[in-house]
């Protein structure tokens, strides 16, 4: 039935629909007008310009419609970026780098929106983990869009305006992607969550897949094969399934002499049930920048230990790289696992942003690894990630990004920064309140590095974090906080930016820096006294780890530790 907004009768009908939609008995399948469907979205005015203006439908149909519009917009943006890159002779190196990042990120958005459209086609029921999968993809699309804009604005000195003429298309795309996320959460996520006040279901430990009978295992010798079997140490998961295994040794005794060559030889689009492509990197210092592309899925990289197997690079923003592309190791392929190695960026504090590891890989896992740099050491960029028993060394914003990420039993070492700088452990980048992203630090230790501890006279303040974006979300719980952390705990980004929209929390911490009596009084800061609230930031709740971590062989704690 068409709704004519100019008549008194239609106003009554619209009001009736609104009341009906808001009542307890209303469901996402209840037909409502487009205007009513837009009421509870993050931008109702924009929403009404997107949805068809006449007729009624349900939230599922509106959600699918917005995803289709988003996919068309993403495809159009890829073409626009290609157009700019075709004129690269007139652009600076920094502008070209930013555009190349945008091209990669926008192509990922096309993939993610295509997968979302397929998942939502013809269904009104999505339960975890499927609903979490889609919300994760839609959250990552917004993150990719923001990263593209950040890079373009950083290179704006060589452009006619901030973003070089792409700022408006990016802004419009962001609004459209936000609408898709908003309609999705209203239609599908409500059916995936437990009733209000109830605990989320415990997903438990799924038995890992066993290796198929045709799996090739001939490239490890007996000792190395035993090493693979020991990867489940401390964990109940059992042997990790291996699809193929290769070795990297600088001296030439392995299958490859560089890590990059071993990655390039990986099979494409493996799935978890087929086992991992295992790259055993023997001890040595590998001076190279390594990228694991999106088609290289379920790659497992194992070294001989922290400080023994080292991958090192020195890219930085000062030297002309984008922050996104400065990473020594960058990972996109789903299901990536790294163990027993150091990833380092040696650019130094004077070179500012210089990333050691960037993970944009869903279901990525890092166990007993060390990440070493100064500013922006570890870029937990997007999607779902888990870190266990790792070390992170840095100064300014040295864990940053907008993934849904949990750190367990890790140690964060704040290093000696440049004169006048403060250390900030985290800078979380959530831009939308409906993104299922955030940084959870559980059962970890926060300490000064030896050089910082040895320079007690050096006036360095260290903070748990500061809000990089509007809805920054970080929780520190069940951790040991050393005396290096300032009594206020958290540092503002600029003035009162995001202080009432962020979500920062602490729960059941210990150590000389854990006293919350003098913490900031921001509206968005919380001291959690209830384990039920803290439980929202555990492995099971934050990343649904029980569904995918067991097959990695990496130990993990599902819920709260105490």
Q: Is 364 exposed, middle or buried (0-12, 13-18, 19+ CB in 10 A)?
A: buried
Place of tokens 């990289």: 301
Q: Reduce the DSSP state of residue 225 to 3 states and report it.
A: helix
The answer to whether residue 397 is catalytic is: yes
For helices 93-120 and 167-184, what crossing angle results, to 10°?
20
Cβ(387)–Cβ(410) below 8 Å: yes
Give the residues across from 339 on adjacent strands.
302, 367
Percent of the chain as helix, strand, coil, to the nearest 5: 35, 20, 45
Cα separation, 516 vs 526, in Å, equals: 10
CB proximity list for 322: less than 8 A, separation 6 or greater: 94, 97, 98, 101, 151, 154, 155
Cβ(369)–Cβ(341) below 8 Å: yes
Cα separation, 348 vs 352, in Å, equals: 7
DSSP for residue 91? S
Give the residues across from 426 on adjacent strands.
399, 465
Tokens encoding 101: 């990042």
Which among 520, 490, 541, 502 is positioned nearest to 199, based on CA atoms?
541
Cβ(71)–Cβ(112) below 8 Å: no
Place of tokens 């864990």: 399
Cα separation, 437 vs 485, in Å, equals: 24
Catalytic pick among 150, 397, 409, 540: 397
Give backbone dihedrals phi and psi of 549, rounded to 5 degrees, phi first: -70, -35
Give backbone dihedrals phi and psi of 525, rounded to 5 degrees, phi first: -95, 140
No. of helices (H) and no. of strands (E), the chain: 13, 24
Cα separation, 444 vs 464, in Å, equals: 12
Give backbone dihedrals phi and psi of 362, rounded to 5 degrees, phi first: -70, 145
Query: Which ranges in 86-158 belong to alpha helices (H)?
Result: 93-120, 130-154
- Supply angle C-alpha 559, 411, 541, rounded to 5: 20
Place of tokens 């959460």: 185
Which among 90, 91, 139, 89 is positioned nearest to 112, based on CA atoms?
139
Q: Reduce the DSSP state of residue 174 to 3 states and report it.
A: helix
Cα separation, 250 vs 259, in Å, equals: 9
Tokens encoding 176: 């459209």
Cα separation, 155 vs 414, in Å, equals: 29
Active-site residue set? 397
């Amino acid at each position: 039935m068409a709704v004519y907004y100019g008549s008194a009768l239609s106003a009554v009908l619209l009001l009736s629909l609104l009341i009906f939609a808001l009542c307890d008995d209303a469901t996402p399948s209840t037909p409502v007008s487009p205007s009513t469907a837009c009421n509870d979205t993050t931008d109702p005015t924009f929403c009404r310009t997107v949805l068809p203006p006449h007729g009624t439908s349900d939230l599922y149909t509106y959600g699918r419609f917005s995803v289709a519009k988003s996919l068309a917009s993403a495809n159009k943006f890829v073409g626009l970026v290609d157009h700019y890159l075709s004129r690269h002779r007139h652009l600076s190196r920094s502008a070209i780098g930013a555009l190349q990042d945008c091209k990669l990120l926008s192509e990922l958005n096309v993939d993610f929106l295509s997968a979302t459209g397929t998942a939502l086609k013809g269904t009104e029921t999505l339960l975890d983990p499927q609903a979490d999968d889609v919300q994760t993809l839609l959250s990552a699309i917004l993150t990719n869009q923001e990263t593209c804009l950040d890079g373009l604005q950083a290179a704006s000195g060589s452009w006619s305006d901030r973003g070089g003429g792409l700022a408006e298309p990016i802004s419009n795309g962001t609004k459209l992607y936000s609408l898709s996320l908003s309609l999705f959460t209203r239609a599908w996520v409500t059916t995936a969550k437990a009733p209000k006040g109830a605990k989320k279901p415990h997903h438990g430990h799924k038995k890992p897949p066993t290796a198929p009978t045709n799996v090739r295992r001939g490239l490890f010798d007996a000792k190395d094969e035993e090493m693979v079997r020991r990867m489940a140490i401390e964990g109940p998961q059992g042997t990790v399934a291996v699809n193929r295994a290769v070795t990297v040794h600088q001296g030439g005794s392995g299958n490859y002499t560089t890590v990059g060559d071993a990655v390039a030889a990986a099979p494409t689009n493996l799935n978890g049930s087929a086992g991992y492509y295992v790259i055993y990197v023997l001890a040595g210092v590998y001076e190279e920048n390594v990228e694991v592309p999106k088609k290289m899925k379920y790659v497992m990289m194992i070294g001989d230990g922290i400080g023994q197997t080292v991958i090192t690079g020195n890219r930085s923003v000062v030297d002309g790289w984008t922050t996104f592309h400065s990473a020594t190791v960058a990972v996109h392929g789903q299901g990536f696992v790294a163990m027993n190695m150091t990833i380092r960026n040696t650019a130094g504090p004077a070179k500012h942003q210089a990333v050691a590891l960037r993970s944009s890989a869903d279901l990525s896992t890092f166990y007993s690894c060390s990440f070493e740099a100064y500013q922006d050491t570890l870029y937990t960029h997007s999607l779902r990630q888990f870190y266990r028993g790792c070390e992170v060394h840095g100064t300014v914003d040295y864990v940053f990004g907008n993934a849904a990420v949990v750190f367990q039993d890790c140690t964060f070492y704040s290093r000696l920064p440049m004169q006048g700088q403060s250390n900030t452990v985290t800078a979380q980048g959530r831009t939308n309140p409906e993104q299922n992203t955030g940084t959870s630090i559980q059962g970890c230790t926060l300490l000064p590095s030896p050089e910082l501890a040895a320079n007690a006279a050096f006036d360095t303040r260290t903070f748990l974090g500061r809000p990089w974006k509007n809805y920054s979300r970080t929780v520190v719980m069940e951790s040991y906080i050393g005396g290096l952390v300032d009594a206020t705990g958290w540092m503002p980004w600029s003035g009162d930016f995001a202080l009432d929209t962020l979500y920062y929390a602490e729960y059941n911490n210990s150590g000389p820096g854990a006293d919350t009596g003098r913490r900031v009084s921001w509206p968005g800061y919380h001291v959690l006294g209830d384990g039920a609230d803290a439980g929202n930031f555990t492995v099971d709740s934050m990343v649904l780890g029980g569904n995918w971590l067991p097959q990695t062989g990496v130990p993990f704690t599902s819920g709260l530790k105490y």
